[in-house]
Chains A and B, each alone.
Chain A
Amino acid sequence: MDKNFIEIKDLKFSYVNEIEEPPVVTEVLKGVSLNIKKGEFVAVLGHNGSGKSTLAKCINAINKPDSGSVTVDGMSVADDEKLLDIRQKVGMVFQNPDNQIVATIVEEDVAFALENMGVDPKEIRRRVDEALKTVGMYEYRMHAPHKLSGGQKQRVAIAGIIAMRPDCILLDEPTAMLDPKGRAEVMKTIKELNAQGVTIVLITHYMEEAVQADRVVVIDGGEIVLDNEPKKIFSQVQTLKNLGLDVPQVTELCWILRNEGIDLPEDVITEDECVERLCELLS
């Protein structure tokens, strides 16, 4: 539990647009350091273009750091030999479920990663069934993915990742294209996985999702500006607003009321908590 699973030290990364003359270099990550322990549930917040997706791609060895280092379970992402091992340890789920599903049948899509890894066919069958049961999509194993709802598709994509038995899953705004029902389904799945000991790094725009994490990291302009427990992050309403971020609705409500001189604590982040506090006040 104490060992760092992912270690990022002074990571710098730039995109180079070579079509332009001279090439345009956009520095996206300007020295990020972050350690993530095994079994943690970390939410990464930041507005568009803050570098949060780029950070995730660096952990997954899709992007190679320009300088600084990223190690996953002791393996450096700069090491090409370890590429497949790292990707097996750290699975990644993307925003658009349609663009991650390769096969035309749910179970064959879930098997895709295992087939790439050269796992024995019988073992693949076992792990595919297990992964589909974990995300609650086992009954749909013979369906065509395009006939599923967004939330179901995203759960299939998650199943495709957990079939690899990764120690960590990076989710890059997995709920951004889903309706509220699909969002709830996916969040439930993520929390269940975390309870089973899988490290979760969730990049999100929804504060209500970030609240459910153990730890929230806020990125702005390619640097980490805040890194703490959700309660301590969201109590800094003004700081977050200055960064162009929202706070959970209940936190905002309490903040407004407090500004009006009503005695409410700063760290209210869930609805239940808010209801309780307000009832206390009224009684």
Chain B
Amino acid sequence: MLKDITIGQFFPGKSVIHRMDARVKLLLTAAFIVMLFVADSIQALCVGVAFTLIVYPISGIPLKMMWKSVKPILPIIIITAFLNLFFIRTGDVYFHWKIVKITEDGVKTASFMAIRIVCLIVGSSILTYTTSPIDLTDAIERLLSPLKKVKVPVHELAMMMTIALRFIPTLIEETDKIMSAQKARGADIETGGLIKKAKALVPILIPLFVASFRHAEELALAMECRCYHGGDGRTRMKQLKMSVLDLFGALFLCLFFTGVIIVNIIV
């Protein structure tokens, strides 16, 4: 279960999308999400799907990796689809048995929702898979840098994000170790009702909590030893640079965005 978490897992590659500027990718992903929500009909959404289907193969991410990020969301997709399917009672009736009534509108909304969520996940995963977390936080830092003028600690926030991403795998590993250690001492983690299971988590969470404090202290020391003194006068090894590629990317998305709006107006 813990191994399935894919947040911040970067898939190194040399595709066109990998080479794009992280700032542009971030903004385009945001625009892509807006686009999916602007689309208010199945037809308009199809334009969004087409965009996803074109961009995904270009990114060169293996299907297995993509499946890994969609899988955890699957229950949510299924539940939303089912709720829409049974609770929308307008439109032509396809199937009617006692109180169960499936209608045309229900089917449409259910599939619409499901497709939209899948596109959202795939789109944002393409961003995290093709951008190294450092580039990503760097991009956020740059994009938010105007906020420094109103005393928002942008650099500190970006550094916190980097460290959080860096420690996700370490803490997962540690959780596994603590779980095994507690099991070896006779702790029952897997069986029992919800409340019993929740209670069984306490002896796992407390050591994990204590351990993260220790990590934090040692890391702070190690960072100080490597001359860390905040964001002042810092340089970056990898400079973010915009290129023609980014312009094409932006134009490409604009094209599809306009497509969605046109389809919205027509339908």
Contact = CB atoms under 8 A, between A and B. Distances in A.
Interface of A: 60, 62, 84, 87-88, 91-92, 94, 96, 98-105, 107-108, 111-121, 124-125, 128, 142, 144-146, 157, 160-161, 164
A102 B229 contact: no
B140 to A, nearest CB: 15
Contacts of A87: 224-227
B134 A103 contact: yes
A164 B222 CA distance: 14
Contact of A121 (B12, B170, B235): B235
Nearest to A101: B166
**Nearest 7 A-B pairs (CB), nearest first?**
A99-B218, A113-B226, A100-B222, A146-B169, A111-B237, A124-B237, A116-B227
Interface string B230-264: 00011111110000000000000000000000000
Given A99-B222, A102-B223, A116-B228, A146 B237 contact: no
Contacts of A121: 235-239
Interface string B10-22: 1010000000000
Interface string B196-214: 0000000000000000001
- Most chain A Cβ neighbours within 10 Å, of B166, B223, B228: B166
Given A62-B225, A164-B226, A102 B235 contact: no
B35 to A, nearest CB: 29
Contacts of A164: 226-227
B106 interface: no
Contacts of A103: 134, 162, 166
24 contacts: A87-B225, A87-B226, A87-B227, A91-B225, A91-B226, A92-B222, A92-B225, A94-B218, A98-B215, A102-B219, A102-B222, A103-B134, A104-B8, A104-B132, A104-B166, A107-B237, A111-B237, A112-B223, A113-B226, A116-B227, A119-B235, A142-B12, A146-B170, A157-B222
Interface residues of B, number: 33
B19 to A, nearest CB: 14
B163 interface: yes
B227 A104 contact: no
A125 B227 CA distance: 18
A98 B239 CA distance: 27
A62 B235 contact: no
Nearest to A118: B233
Contacts of A104: 8, 10, 132-134, 162, 165-166
Contacts of B224: 62, 87
B221 A94 contact: yes
B176 interface: no
B173 interface: yes
A122 to B, nearest CB: 9
Contacts of A60: 225
